[in-house]
Amino acid sequence: MKPIRLDLSLLFLFGFFLCFSSVCSDLVISKLDRRIDLSSHIVRTTTSLKIENNGVDGVSEILLPFPEHQAKNLAFLSVMISEGKGKTKEFSDSLPVDVANPVGMPPALTWYSVTLPKELGKGRSLTLEVKAVFTHILRPFPEKITQADVQLVAFQDSAYYLSPYAVKVQSLTVKLPEPKVESYTKLEKTKFSGSEIKYGPYEDLPQFSYSPIVIHYVSNKPFAVAQELVREIEISHWGNVQVTENYNLVHAGAEIAGEFSRLDYQARPHVRGASAFRNLVANLPPRAHSIYYRDEIGNISTSNVWSDSAQTLLEIEPRYPMFGGWRTSFTIGYGLPLKDFLFWSEGKRYLDITFGCPMSDVVIENLTVKVVLPEGSKDISVSVPFPVKQSQETKISHLDMVGRPVIVLQKTNVVPEHNQYFQVYYRFSNLSLLREPLMLIFGFFLFFFACVVYTHADFTISKSSPSYLAKLQWDEVQTAIQQFESIINRCLTVHDKLEASLRDLSRNGDVQACKAARKAADSLLKELSKELKPLLSFLQSSPQAVQIMPKVEELVSKERELQEKLMLKYSTVVDSYEKKSSGRDIENRVAAVQQKITLLRQEVDDLLEVIDEI
């Protein structure tokens, strides 16, 4: 494994800061306790600063510097005044914090100015509690591992708090996720106990003191990063708030190298998948209902819900374990009681709901929150406890006329600390609630009225119009064609019966019975011929039968030819039997005729199919 390289720019900054060591001399930090929590991939630092004013003038702001590598990944910063100690410690509301550009300070740092509620007078002191949350400052080392490896990460910082003020006493405690460390920087007064590394206390440190440290440790915690999260919160004044969350999630830890074995993972998941995470837990409001979890394929059944009076926990499990570099997309949705989140204030309604992701320890690179208000809402305003990008759009939904106003709030680099309540204020008339029911009633009324009109109206075409007459003529042609096909089929049935009498003759030699069958066949064929004549005359005179008439005439011709050949075969067979000819001799005499009969019968059948299709 390659050794961990310290960021040399930090060393250069250290020398650069010494040039500004005399800029801030009025304020002194008499005691500083700093705690860095590395138990997840979100790095949280909590710093307690006891600040004393040794100058002549009062001070109304405190400066907080951050190096560039921390400032660009700073997701959350909160400063409060603390009073008391231990369990009795009390905190004030968050103080205003703004980006600053102080004169005479190192420009290589990013500065924040904390505005105090009142000036800190000469000889006075106060204690500030500074909480900073960073993302993407832990570096997987190595960057690629196998399925069986644990995940190692490297963290770089300074054992001394970077401050423009002198520090009398300070200490640092680094909390690790587990007591497994590959290496760490050992300085004077360094102690490693359990899962914590302690540096200090160090005394009488000048301004901008800096001592770089590197900690290389084991961390198999989920590096869950939502590259994009879109939350849609839709308000319905009929009693429900529907929340839909679309996630595009990636494991941002060390990427898996080589092949993945499902068998090894199933057999020993804590060994052959230590760096992967299998599930996530969302902390939903206590009365959440109609909860679902699905992806592009469909519903995912690997989820569990636990609820009580205080919270509702949704445990979701992707379709596959998430190793480093792997991605997944899914959607969760749930409903909330309207009365728990919608309130009245000074004649306006307002939605009071949380802003961020309900899942703990998930970093959101791009968060979009869309609040869909009822159609007809106006005088809209938003109150968010931190800076966001705000815009407005319109959503067309069912039974909408002009669309519903949608408030769009966007923020990058979002952490669980941003999951705070925000408010959307708007005015909405109660009469607008009746719009959709009235539209439904009016729509049903129009539908049933149209049905009544339809059932009582006469929509038939005029009997004197050309189209109506053409339709009648075509109906008559179709009827005639059906009758024609029926007569031809009956003729073919007579042919089949005559063929059957010849087969009986070959078996029993009864010539008289065969002649009787011939006589009956002749009689039936004459009757069918008489029935066919008027149909042919009608079809020949009808202009609608011009296209089909050639096929009809061809079929009649083929049927008559077939009838003649069949009668010829009959006469030949009967004469041969009366002359006592042998069976082979009879077959030889009728072979050519029989071949012609078979061919004609096939042609007749084909023509019938063609006419039927037309």
CATH number, residue 487 = 1.20.120
Strand partners, 407: 371, 392
Q: Stretch 75-101: mean pLDDT, rounded?
A: 86
Q: What is the pLDDT averaged over residues 281-307?
A: 88
User: Where in the sequence is the domain holding 377, given as residue range(s)?
Assistant: 224-433
Same domain, 213 and 233: no
Q: Give the span between the Cα atoms of 596 and 604, in whole angstroms.
A: 12
Average pLDDT over every residue of 512-539? 85
Is the distance from CB of 257 to CB of 146 less than 8 angstroms? yes
Q: What is the pLDDT of residue 461?
A: 57
Residues 124 and 238 in one domain: no
Examine residue 444 and state whether it is found in any structural domain, yes or no.
Answer: no
- Quick count: other Cβ atoms within 10 Å of Cβ 338? 15
Spatial contact of 226 and 251, defined as CB atoms under 8 Å apart = no
More confident residue, 103 or 493: 493
Mean pLDDT within 132-147: 92
Question: What mean pLDDT do residues 348-371 have?
Answer: 93
**Residue 355 DSSP class:** -
On whether both 475 and 591 belong to a single domain, the answer is yes
Mean pLDDT (the chain, rounded): 86
Which of 218, 236, 255 is the last residue before a domain boundary?
218
Identify whether 579 is part of a domain.
yes
* pLDDT above 60 (res 17): no
Residue 344 domain-assigned? yes
As beta bridge partners, residue 235 has: 241
Cis-peptide, bond into residue 285, ω within 30° of zero: no
In a domain, 233, yes or no: yes
Lowest-confidence pick of 76-90, 124-138, 335-349, 410-424: 76-90
Whether 334 shows a pLDDT value over 80: the answer reads: yes
For the record, the structure tokens of 554 come out as 């061809």
Higher pLDDT, 259 or 162: 162
Task: Note whether 512 and 409 are same-domain residues.
Answer: no
At residue 11, the pLDDT reads 45
Asked whether the predicted pLDDT for residue 5 surpasses 70, the reply is no
pLDDT at 239 over 60: yes
Could you give the number of structural domains in the chain?
3
- Report the CATH number that the domain containing residue 361 is assigned in CATH: 2.60.40.1730
For residues 70 and 183, state if they share a domain: yes
Residues 529, 500 within the same domain: yes
Q: What Cα–Cα distance (Å) separates residue 203 from each residue in 52, 159, 268?
A: 16, 13, 49
Q: How confident is the model at residue 147 (pLDDT cuts 50, 70, 90)?
A: confident
Task: Identify whether 449 is part of a domain.
Answer: no
**531 and 559 housed in the same domain:** yes
- Give a yes or no: residue 194 inside a domain: yes
Rounded mean pLDDT, 395-402 = 78
Nearest Cα to 408, choosing from 478, 355, 349? 355
DSSP 3-state assignment of 419? coil
- Final residue of a domain: which of 190, 218, 246? 218
Q: What percent of the chain is predicted at pLDDT more than 90?
A: 42
Q: Tell whether 47 is covered by a domain.
A: yes
- Note whether 568 and 560 are within 8 A (CB): no
Percent of the chain with pLDDT over 70: 94
Domain boundary (198, 218, 238) is at: 218
471 contact partners, CB below 8 Å, separation of at least 6? 461
CA–CA distance from 403 to each of 96, 394, 398, 400 (Å)?
38, 6, 9, 5
Asked if 544 contacts 473 with a C-beta cutoff of 8 angstroms, the reply is yes
Asked if 61 and 204 sit in the same domain, the reply is yes
Q: Is the pLDDT of residue 18 over 60?
A: no
pLDDT of 475 above 70: yes
Give residue 2's pLDDT band: very low, low, confident or very high (50, 70, 90).
Answer: low
Q: Examine residue 421 and state whether it is found in any structural domain, yes or no.
A: yes
SS3 255: strand
- How far, in Å, CA of 193 to CA of 41, rounded? 21
Task: Note whether 359 and 313 are same-domain residues.
Answer: yes
Indicate whether 342 and 228 sit together in one domain: yes
Q: What is the mean pLDDT of residues 430-452?
A: 84
Residues 159 and 287 in one domain: no
Sheet hosting strand 404-414, strand order edge to edge: 289-294, 327-337, 240-251, 224-236, 363-372, 404-414, 389-395
Residues 406 and 538 in one domain: no
| CATH number of the domain enclosing 83 | 2.60.40
- For the cut 90, the answer to whether the pLDDT of residue 186 exceeds it is yes
Q: Is the pLDDT of residue 89 over 80?
A: no
Would you state the pLDDT for residue 108?
81
Residue 14 reports pLDDT greater than 60: no
Q: Record the pTM.
A: 0.69
pLDDT band at residue 20 under the 50/70/90 scheme: very low
Euclidean distance between CA atoms 614 and 611, whole angstroms: 5
Q: Does pLDDT of 436 surpass 80?
A: no
More confident residue, 203 or 302: 203
